[in-house]
Structure 1
Amino acid sequence: MTLTAAPERSVLDDAREQLAQAVETLGLGPAVFAMLAAPRREISVSIPLRRDDGTTEVLRGYRVQHNYSRGPGKGGVRFDARVDIEEVRALAMWMTWKCALLDVPYGGAKGGVRVDPRKYSTAELERITRRYTSEIAPIIGPNQDIPAPDIGTDEQTMAWMMDTYSVGRGHTVLGVVTGKPIALGGSQGRAASTSRGVVAIAVEALRHVGIPVAGARAAVQGFGKVGRGAARFLADEGVSVVAVSDVYGAIFDAAGLDIAALERFVDETGSVVGFPGAQAIDGEDVLTADVDLLVPAAVEGVVHAGNAEAVRARIVVEGANGPLTADADRILEARGVLVVPDILANAGGVVVSYFEWVQANQSYWWSEDEVNQRLVDRMTRAWHDVLGYAARRQLTLRLAATCMAVERVFRAHEMRGLYP
């Protein structure tokens, strides 16, 4: 199953369109758009790799720092065969707005290596990670730019990055990355934080439109880092998750999937495909399932002009970054579908990354209950702030959230002034 964005537009086009709408709504003018649309710094690096069989190949990696007016850069590193510079630029921009919206003292950054990690051994992935880290080391650091896991990377990747950076500095620097293993200064609750935040927002959205949470029907597109946890937490809230998908296929059960059993099945087989008692369906059908809530939690651009009319969910909560194109946004808005934007919905990861960074700087770690409660409190507070802003100005949630974030970034930049 392959889900891709509509080919006529890139994710960067959509990100810039969202910014342009916010700048126009705020009355800030074209000069502000030009400043905020352009990354402050970006680097493209070659990553020569000696493979296990002795052959050599060269991969391409990127790191983009979109804005750091409000603090050091923050954003994940993804290993994916589709990574390119435009995608990384868009994701870095969205990270800027996400951090500002949740009032986390970071700017936005993002990184990636164009590689399919499923085709490489653990030893090869370590070599890729360490060479990539050494190449971008001059522009990252605990007070400069702090990477984290994303698609195709995990806490082991972050451990390699932290070690490589630390070796170059001559001492251990725990705060250079977040999403690390607990044994190396990671935070309790970090692994599930994005999923937990998505569900906290989904619950608020269901209540907002008057749909009882217990018994609501949901579909989750993607069963990886975000989707799997989101399905579990939705089930814990009493939501009936009837459809899920991964890169290999999709399944459906009108009575609701047993998520705990599905997780065990995926651990054993590597995919949701073939789960006993569930009906096999096409991956696209998850996006158009007859549900109250749709959580696209995989990659960008999966809901677009070609399928947005067929979406039947009353609420779409963006678990992934940019899963709806600008065209899809307009179609769903016209149809009265409530769309909760990614910069709000999936911000739980950066919130707990911030908590991890704070804990590392203090050398004092919090309990998982403390982390989870602080996360939910911050997410729900942001939800009500965005909801109120949107109501007062009669804006969509996406435009309201982007306006709030852009205004905070612009004000910080304005107060700092231009140099020289």
Structure 2
Amino acid sequence: MSNRPNFFENVIKSFDKAAALTDFDKGLLEQIKACNAVLRIRFPLKRDDGSIEVIEAYRVQHSHHRTPCKGGIRFSTDVNQDEVMALAALMTYKCAIVSVPFGGGKGGIRIDPQNYSEFELQKITRRYTSELVKKNFIGPGIDVPAPDYGTSGREMAWIADTYTSMNPDDINALACVTGKPISQGGVNGRKEATGLGVFYGVREVCNIPGVMEKVGLTTGIENKRVVVQGLGNVGFYATKFFRQGGAKIICIAEKEGAIYNEEGLNEEDVFFHRKNTGSVKDFPGSIFIENSAEALELDCDILIPAALESVIHEGNAERIKAKIIGEAANGPLTPEADEIFIRKGVVVIPDMYLNAGGVTVSYFEWLKNLSHVRYGRMEKRFTENVNKRIINQLELLTGRQVPERDKKIIAHGADEIDLVHSGLEETMISATQEIMDVWHSHPEVHDMRTAAYLVAIQKVARAYEELGIFP
């Protein structure tokens, strides 16, 4: 991390660029971008071999204009206060853009989870949670964590169990964290949510004739040549939905290298090859690129950086050939790279809204936990029965039979995953349109990122004004 630009400063630069185009009071703008609370904790871990190790961890609540705060917890040796503050700030703006009523938060534990046993990871997670409880940094109406880099539903289940054991009278205790396994109060569709949201967002931009004419591409996602950096959860599902949507995945890059095939790659085959061999190298029918950073510079229509921050910067931005860049990762472009792409006419779809699928579906999970009712439970059978009656009437009136396969599709009542995907699609489409409206109505705005920040600033500023904090 030390050789990368300061992540939080990059977020501030982008914020200030957009804030300069508003008429809000300077003090209000300073409050919006300030981190409200930063918790840094250290606690001992007794390892399996009997040795003692001190664990460093963070939780940041960036904004309280809406509560609870919301943001993931990552396990990584790169975790530091600057990174967690930057990610928490992005969460504030992200939630505002997609109209999810949360303030931004983020957490991190400075460890490499691969170096610890499952029992050690459980002890770390539970101790971290207990510290958050004691400091009032977690709760259904206070601060709601979620999975992030290096964590999964397993860790979220440990967090939920620890919080519940310390708050036995809280009937909404499961809403203290999202991204949980389905059996522990999770919601169907959460695992693929961020990647699917990336697809929905890029697809909506590709459906706008004016934007596509600007970059010299035809409208629609079909047959677009896509390069994806990172085959983690977000990259894998983004790649999957792009391929299923008709795009051609010509390159997939990972830390050990990249593979290229102009005819297209199947992410599931690549995933299992890497799982079995430990590398994407030697994937059948592909060309191996030893330096994975070179994959970013391949000739393509759409580039999806879905790995680390600051991978595209002033040192390589000029060599990027993609017409559209969809920021699936947090902060993959530096402000200097942004300026280069504005000059080149490249459309950058910003992370602060494009990867909001995770927090959007986390919001749905939070609501499910508070309502104590599974989505679709109340209306699924009713809808199916009504649709079946409609089909029967059509057959009676026309004298023709609807094919059985079509009959099942028409009669189908929405399951939880159908409703979650539908809600996510609506969220991403609405957010895209709102950003585009701001972009096209402000001649001084030259990129989607600035337009997205303007949308976020306006919504957060109005929330503060409505609270009466700034009379």
TM range (shorter): over 0.9
* 45, 48, 56: which one aligns with 1:49: 45
State the alpha-carbon separation in 2 of the partners of residues 362 and 383 from structure 1. Answer: 29
Which structure has more relative contact order (CA 8 Å, sep 6+)? It is: 1
Contact 1:102 1:344 in 2 (8 A): yes
Say yes or no: does 1:273 pair with 2:292. Answer: no
Contact 1:5 1:300 in 2 (8 A): no
Matches within 5 A, 1:106-117: 106-117=102-113
Contact 1:23 1:32 in 2 (8 A): no
Contact 1:6 1:304 in 2 (8 A): no
Give the superposition deviation at 1:389.
1.1
Give the superposition deviation at 1:419.
8.7
162-171 vs 260-269, greater mean Cα deviation? 260-269
Residue of structure 2 in register with 1:316 after alignment: 325
State the alpha-carbon separation in 1 of the partners of residues 232 and 76 from structure 2. Answer: 14
* 141, 145, 148: which one aligns with 2:146: 148
State the alpha-carbon separation in 1 of the partners of residues 256 and 77 from structure 2. Answer: 16
Give the superposition deviation at 1:22.
2.0
* 74, 98, 101: which one aligns with 2:97: 101
* 330, 343, 359: which one aligns with 2:368: 359
Give the superposition deviation at 1:345.
0.6
1:235-258 deviation per Cα after TM superposition (whole angstroms, max 9, x unaligned) = 101111111122332211121112
State the alpha-carbon separation in 2 of the partners of residues 379 and 188 from structure 1. Answer: 18
308-317 vs 168-177, greater mean Cα deviation? 168-177
Contact 1:5 1:325 in 2 (8 A): no
Contact 1:221 1:244 in 2 (8 A): yes
Residue of structure 2 in register with 1:177 after alignment: 177
Residue of structure 2 in register with 1:67 after alignment: 63
SS of residue in 1 equivalent to 2:307: coil
Q: Structure 2: which 5+ residue stretches go unaligned?
A: 376-415
* 33, 36, 42: which one aligns with 1:40: 36
SS of residue in 1 equivalent to 2:19: helix
Say yes or no: does 1:80 pair with 2:88. Answer: no
Give the superposition deviation at 1:205.
2.2
Contact 1:19 1:33 in 2 (8 A): no
223-232 vs 270-279, greater mean Cα deviation? 270-279
* 275, 300, 303: which one aligns with 1:291: 300
Aligned residues: 416
* 344, 347, 353: which one aligns with 1:338: 347
% same residue: 40
Contact 1:252 1:280 in 2 (8 A): yes
Matches within 5 A, 1:174-323: 174-208=174-208, 209=212, 210-211=217-218, 212-281=220-289, 282-323=291-332
SS of residue in 2 equivalent to 1:25: coil
State the alpha-carbon separation in 1 of the partners of residues 336 and 167 from structure 2. Answer: 47
Contact 2:464 2:470 in 1 (8 A): no
1:85-106 deviation per Cα after TM superposition (whole angstroms, max 9, x unaligned) = 0110010000000001001111
Give the superposition deviation at 1:417.
2.4
The TM-score, its normalising length taken from structure 2, stands at: 0.86
Residue of structure 1 in register with 2:450 after alignment: 399
Say yes or no: does 1:10 pair with 2:18. Answer: no
Give the superposition deviation at 1:49.
1.3
Give the superposition deviation at 1:225.
1.4
Q: Structure 1: which 5+ residue stretches go unaligned?
A: none
Contact 1:23 1:406 in 2 (8 A): yes
Runs of 4+ aligned residues of structure 1 deviating over 6 Å after TM superposition are none
Residue of structure 1 in register with 2:405 after alignment: none
Change (3 A) 1:331 1:41: same
State the alpha-carbon separation in 1 of the partners of residues 355 and 128 from structure 2. Answer: 26
Contact 1:23 1:403 in 2 (8 A): yes
SS of residue in 1 equivalent to 2:330: coil
Amino acid at match of 1:387: M
State the alpha-carbon separation in 2 of the partners of residues 193 and 148 from structure 1. Answer: 13
The TM-score, its normalising length taken from structure 1, stands at: 0.96
Amino acid at match of 2:186: G
Give the superposition deviation at 1:6.
5.9
SS of residue in 2 equivalent to 1:244: strand
Taking only aligned residues, the RMSD between alpha carbons, in angstroms, comes to: 1.6
Residue of structure 2 in register with 1:411 after alignment: 462
**Which structure would you say has the larger Rg?**
2
Amino acid at match of 2:365: E
